[in-house]
Amino acid sequence: MKLYNTSSKQVETISSLSNDSKIGVYACGPTVYDYAHIGHMRKYTMDDVLVRTLEKTGWQVNHVMNITDVGHLVSDGDTGEDKMEKGARKTGKTVWEVAQHFEEDFWQKLDRMEVRRPDTAPRATDHIAEQIAQVQALEKNGFTYEIPGDGIYFDTSQDPHYGELARLQLEEQKEGARIGVTEGKRNPADFALWKFSPTDQQRAMEWDSPWGKGFPGWHIECSAMSMCYLGEQFEIHTGGIDHIPVHHTNEIAQAENATGKRPFVQYWVHHNFLLVDGQKMSKSLENFYTLDDVEERGFSPMALKMLFLSANYRDELNFTWESLAAMQKGYEKLQRKAQQLLEQSAYESWEDVPEVGAVTLSAELQKIYDDFVYQMTNDLKTPQALATVWKLTKCKDVQAIVLLKEMFEFLFSPYNKTVYADWTVKLCSGSPRTLINENVFFFF
């Protein structure tokens, strides 16, 4: 399997750190203060396609995705309101009700998209102790300082590797231009590890810490929780390209300087944006669509999934209702072909269709399948892989049904995930409320 690694700026053949078939995948998950839009769905769909492809090609994957339910401020510069508290104020609910409502909605949307849930989905508020422990480790190693009345900050000037992921030119980074001014910061890129609660009001979410009452900075949850479930160093970390300069850069700084081990992550995988009618999605442009909007207009979530697959995850993708309509037609055509082949075959149902490898394929079918796997394992070239699926629709050989089923499992349909009981994982000391994949009891 080859993937483009943002860290090396090259396509690399991936390998397991434990020299076996185990791969840890950490995906930055949703901040549950609002409904997920179709741009978010693109990212989680492609994460799932990545995990499916790894599994289909023999890797044992532990897929961890966090749920951000505290500490994600509206600005990247450690200023502004906590998104959760803002969501609560807007809806008149408590922060906990807001988190629960939007998290449930998020899982339902993934289910409708037939995007498999991750193996483990830890919430930030269940891992405050681990986050405090990581800040303490950074403090002990000399990477922190306090801004009185504000919080504990990471001193980026102490880390010679800071910003390598994004190739940041720190000396050129103008304070204020990008991340807003915070009084007392030693360097423009310094960021909050722990924020103090205001003295004149009580926050809805706050915890005691060695530095006083407060709440964690957003970035610390991802380095603390990924290390909890996947170890101090692991293989793949995914996220949107907008996370490269700040969130992921800061995750790396936290993890590597807390443990002294580099690199924190072997392969950084970044997803590009979804545009709507050529523009960035925004509420003011009224082009902020959710899966509900797609379904209300009569489209299948699978048509949306097909639209996502029609572009490489590293490229921008433009959503239009016309392109979605074309995808709907395409998906229906594929379904009709599958039904037709099934009727012509000796198999009674879709479940009876054997796996590739269990039957001998004609040379023509074998070539189509090899092409498909080649495209999927070469940095997830899903548009090219879809093109090989289309070749099958013209194929007269009834055994094409075997390939079609396999390709659907790579790209679309749910299938039972293999449970690997021997995945050893360091468990958090906290008590994570963990979401478990359908039918799968992975660790608990």
| 59: Cβ contacts below 8 Å, ≥ 6 apart | 1, 16, 21, 22, 23
Q: Of these, 28, 41, 152, 276, which contacts Zn ion (CB under 5 A)?
A: 28
**Alpha-carbon radius of gyration of the chain:** 23
Task: Output 77 or 330, the one with its CB closest to Zn ion.
Answer: 77
Residue 66 corresponds to which tokens in the numbers above?
């966090």
Q: Which stretch binds Zn ion (CB under 5 A): 20-28, 89-97, 162-170, 406-414?
A: 20-28
- Report, in Å, the least distance between residue 220 CB and Zn ion: 10
Q: Of these, 147, 222, 291, 386, which contacts Zn ion (CB under 5 A)?
A: 222
Task: Output 43 or 109, the one with its CB closest to Zn ion.
Answer: 43
**What is the bridge-based pairing of β-strands 151-154 and 191-196?**
antiparallel
Q: Which stretch binds Zn ion (CB under 5 A): 25-33, 45-53, 89-97, 131-139?
A: 25-33
Report whether 77 contacts 180 (CB < 8 A).
yes
Task: Output 222 or 227, the one with its CB closest to Zn ion.
Answer: 222
Q: Does 70 interact with Zn ion (rule: CB under 5 A)?
A: no
From 206, 209, 254, select the one nearest 232 (Cα to Cα): 254
The span from the CA of 430 to the CA of 286, in Å, is: 41
Task: Output 151 or 217, the one with its CB closest to Zn ion.
Answer: 217
- Report, in Å, the least distance between residue 28 CB and Zn ion: 3
Which positions from 270 to 289 touch Zn ion by CB under 5 A, shown as an x/- string? Answer: --------------------
**What is the bridge-based pairing of β-strands 151-154 and 279-280?**
unpaired
| Residue type present at position 332 | E
The span from the CA of 89 to the CA of 133, in Å, is: 31
Task: Output 30 or 330, the one with its CB closest to Zn ion.
Answer: 30
Which positions from 178 to 217 touch Zn ion by CB under 5 A, shown as an x/- string? Answer: ----------------------------------------
Report whether 143 contacts 221 (CB < 8 A).
no
Task: Output 120 or 399, the one with its CB closest to Zn ion.
Answer: 120
Residue with tokens 């050529």: 278
Task: Output 240 or 301, the one with its CB closest to Zn ion.
Answer: 240
Which residues in 83-102 contact Zn ion (CB under 5 A)? none
The span from the CA of 351 to the CA of 427, in Å, is: 36
3-state DSSP helix/strand/coil percent for the chain, to nearest 5?
40, 15, 45
Report whether 152 contacts 137 (CB < 8 A).
no
- Report, in Å, the least distance between residue 294 CB and Zn ion: 26
Report whether 92 contacts 36 (CB < 8 A).
no
Task: Output 182 or 249, the one with its CB closest to Zn ion.
Answer: 249
Task: Output 268 or 319, the one with its CB closest to Zn ion.
Answer: 268
Written as one string, the DSSP assignment of 385-403 is HHHHHHHHHT---TTHHHH
Q: Which stretch binds Zn ion (CB under 5 A): 27-35, 115-123, 169-177, 307-315?
A: 27-35
Q: Which stretch binds Zn ion (CB under 5 A): 28-36, 39-47, 415-423, 426-434?
A: 28-36
- Report, in Å, the least distance between residue 167 CB and Zn ion: 20
**What is the bridge-based pairing of β-strands 22-27 and 60-65?**
parallel
Site size toward Zn ion, by CB under 5 A: 2
| 364: Cβ contacts below 8 Å, ≥ 6 apart | 395, 397
- Report, in Å, the least distance between residue 247 CB and Zn ion: 6
Residues near Zn ion, by CB under 5 A: 28, 222
